[in-house]
Copies of this chain bind each other. A is one copy, B any other.
Amino acid sequence: MNGQDDSRAAAAGDDATRSTAAPSPLAPRPSPLDPCPSSLAFTAGFVERVRASFGRQGAMALIGAQLLDVQPGYCSIALVPRPELCQQHGYVHAGILATLVDSAGGYAGYTLFPNDSSVLTVEYKLNLLAPAEGERIVAAGYVVKAGRTLTITRGEVHAERAGARTLVAIMQQTLMAMHGKSDNSA
């Protein structure tokens, strides 16, 4: 099921006291968290490790997910919507979005883990912002804090439709590194 609450866009124009923000040139600008900082320590061969692990996931093949981009502390996964991935209103099911973004966050973290480790999702929280429909769904995950045991990520899911991108879901996630247990062990 997908969250949506789009009535505001229409309603905004009704209120004469509303204005479009003209950002003051003097206003202090907060700096957003960088989803791909240049200072992360990663492990050589991380792209190959992520690709091999992704290929071992039956669920990724079932839904038709494709690995899009792997960088240190960053991963994105794409999906082309089709009816059997949808909920009762014809939008991509929230569980499918969750599958994508949970995996994107997990592999974002995994790029920074040692070779003889695997990655587990401890927990995540997902907000659904708009119906997911269009030509392509792209989920991206990035590391916010890398730790030896626990790694924290954020993720976003966008739907691409007719040349426009809509933010449809955001995630916050906790990962755990399993040291001494490589990803391809039984």
Residue of B nearest to A21 (CB): B72
A164 interface contact, C-beta 8 A: no
Binary contact track A102-118/B, C-beta < 8 Å → 1, others 0: 11001000000011001
Report A79 CB to chain B, min CB distance, Å. 11
- Count the A residues whose beta carbon is within 8 Å of the partner chain — how many? 107
Binary contact track A151-184/B, C-beta < 8 Å → 1, others 0: 0101010000000000100111011100000011
Most buried by B among A1, A19, A100, A102: A1
**Contact at A144–B172, with CB atoms within 8 Å?**
no
What is the copy number of this chain in the assembly? 4
A127-B152 contact in complex given A38-B21, A93-B59, C-beta closer than 8 Å? yes
**Contact at B84–A62, with CB atoms within 8 Å?**
yes
Binary contact track A60-99/B, C-beta < 8 Å → 1, others 0: 0111000001011110100000011111111001111011
Residue of B nearest to A144 (CB): B170
CA distance A12 to B120 in the complex (A): 20
A7-B149 contact in complex given A42-B18, A99-B99, C-beta closer than 8 Å? yes
In the complex, which residues of chain B have a beta carbon less than 8 angstroms from the beta carbon of A145?
A: 129-130, 167
Q: Which residues of A contact B (CB under 8 A)?
A: 1-8, 11-12, 15, 17-23, 27-36, 38-45, 53-54, 56-59, 61-63, 69, 71-74, 76, 83-90, 93-96, 98-100, 102-103, 106, 114-115, 118-130, 140, 142, 144-150, 152, 154, 156, 167, 170-172, 174-176, 183-186
Q: What are the nearest 10 A-B pairs in CB distance?
A: A95-B99, A5-B147, A59-B93, A8-B148, A56-B88, A125-B125, A21-B72, A58-B84, A1-B121, A123-B127
Extra contacts besides A1-B175, A23-B71, A94-B99 (4): CB < 8 Å: A3-B176, A122-B127, A123-B127, A149-B176
